[in-house]
Chain A
Amino acid sequence: MSEALQDFKTDLKRTPLDGFHRRAGARMVPFAGYHMPLNYAGGIIAEHQHVRSAAGLFDISHMGQLTIRARSGDPLAACTALEALVPVDLRSLAVGRQRYALLTNERGGILDDLMVARMPDSLFAVVNASRKDADQKYLREKLSATCDIERHDDRALLALQGPLAAKALEEFAPGVSDLAFMDVRSMKILGRECIVARSGYTGEDGFEISVPAEIAELFAQKLAAKEEVKLIGLGARDSLRLEAGLCLYGSDIDESTTPVEASLSWAIQKSRRPDGERPGGFPGEREIFRELNEGSSRRRVGLCPDGRAPIRHGARLFESKTAQEPVGHVTSGCFGPTVNAPVAMGYVKREIPEGAIVFAELREKRIPTKLVPLPFVKPNYKRSQK
């Protein structure tokens, strides 16, 4: 049978939790330039189910953590500066809140997707591992007149996700249960200053916690020792986010896909749209406005193939069993343990409506595949009562 694993490169980096993963029996794989845990002894399906029913701890220290600080000392100046690079309203972002954002290029394509938090004196951004070098360079180049960009390679990033995440974290960060979805706070954990955000990449309630690298292992050990917490690898992280309908940069979105095509128009607040208070003023404004107005020629949708066989990244989609020209392609696909069926997402031509059946190419066969709304699994976020 074909070998699923590639050989390890020796130049891969290690997160502060590398030894911890190995001692916990992780199967390590190369991902975005790092040795990362794919899964632990229980396997991907058990880990996935555990996050949906209890709490799972993920090491996501490979991701980039950046502080953007205006040299003027005015925190709003950092928001204004970054607004020139994203079609997102940051000036109205309240202190202690975070927002999903997209760095766009001149053609309206997506350079990266990121979470931006408004801290009391700066912005704190979490960016994709595969893009962090490029993002840092780009932000420095574009914002150097007004802002300093600091990258926190001395920090680890942990995610604790699932319905019991707040209960588990409360012991180490008293008061954390009071945060609402997308709230961000600086909090002391094990005596050190940490940044806690109530958000994640699984569709469940949970937290992402930026901690100094020196305490990462101790903190992970203490969390993992709790009965409700299990360690979760990248395999389950991928199936969880796919069921939640969330994009993976490099697969579902990239420089060739626009926010409108990617069905991410919701991330563009009214204030940055043509009839808003601060319309445009970001790279790709013309193309993105045109598509907001007229619609894009293709869009990202959910895909449910018939049967049990997953359809995967790259599979072509056709309108019939015999059509020659594809009408779209799959960008992510796997078996969804919560749905208990294969799930996928991809791009199709705009004319094809939700509910329609297309045919996914799979080993010389064409599998009837239904266009469905995303997400596959209803999110379980703790929304604010406001």
Chain B
Amino acid sequence: MLKFTDDHEWLRVEGDVAVVGITNFAQNQLGDLVFVELPKVGAQVKKGDPAAVVESVKVASDVYAPIDGEIVEVNESIVKEPQIISSDPMGKGWFFKMKIGVPAQLEGLKNEAEYEALVASAH
């Protein structure tokens, strides 16, 4: 199951864990990425908390936790090579995995068609 936030994060549900990253639209808006800061494994985050930071040449942006939960794994390879996010934002460019705290929160997120409509309206 793939879900999206209004803030351009994506979330893929794999059992009781969600993989989180930023969308192609988001990485495209940011441009060349130069720095990523990830949360600590074990951190408890609430929906809407800034959980990670991504910086381009020009600007720093927060990546928000899309739901409540515990960070169980982070993708160190994007810290070494932030360009991975640009080349494969929905795959190898994932940011962190979190244990889903409140499954009901998933229902408040957008599906792919709804997200595509949001992006289209932003143009």
Contact = CB atoms under 8 A, between A and B. Distances in A.
Contacts, number: 68
Contacts of B104: none
Q: Which residue, B31, B34, B62, has most C-beta atoms of chain A within 10 A?
A: B34
A183 to B, nearest CB: 32
Contact of B37 (A27, A309, A342): A309
Nearest to A234: B58
A373 to B, nearest CB: 23
A188 B69 CA distance: 67
B98 to A, nearest CB: 15
A235 B31 contact: yes
A335 interface: yes
A2 interface: yes
Contact of A310 (B26, B30, B60, B62): B60
A44 B86 CA distance: 13
Contacts of A363: 37, 53
A96 B53 CA distance: 50
B57 A239 contact: yes
Interface string B46-71: 00000001111111111110000000
Given A310-B60, A335-B55, A1 B31 contact: no
A334 B62 CA distance: 16
B97 interface: no
Contacts of B61: 1-2, 4
Interface in A293-330: 308-310, 312
A239 to B, nearest CB: 6
A312 B54 CA distance: 14
Interface in B8-57: 8-9, 22, 26, 29-32, 34-35, 37, 53-57
Which interface residue of B22, B60, B62, B63 has the most chain A CB atoms within 10 A?
B60
Contacts of B88: none
Given A1-B26, A308-B34, A44 B60 contact: no
A43 B31 contact: yes
A138 to B, nearest CB: 31
Nearest to B23: A1
Nearest to A44: B57
Chain B residues touching A, range: 20 to 34
B110 to A, nearest CB: 14
B7 interface: yes
A3 B7 contact: yes
Contact of B59 (A4, A46, A48): A4
A335 B35 CA distance: 9
Contacts of B29: 3-5
B34 A335 contact: yes
A44 B35 contact: no
B55 A309 contact: yes
A39 B31 contact: yes
Contacts of A4: 29-30, 56, 58-59, 61
A308 B63 CA distance: 18
A195 B32 CA distance: 35
Contacts of B22: 1
Nearest to B54: A1
Contacts of A48: 57
Interface of B: 7-9, 22, 26, 29-32, 34-35, 37, 53-64
11 contacts: A1-B7, A1-B54, A2-B7, A3-B29, A4-B61, A44-B31, A44-B32, A45-B34, A312-B60, A335-B55, A363-B37
Interface of A: 1-5, 27, 38-39, 43-46, 48, 235, 238-239, 308-310, 312, 334-335, 337, 342, 363
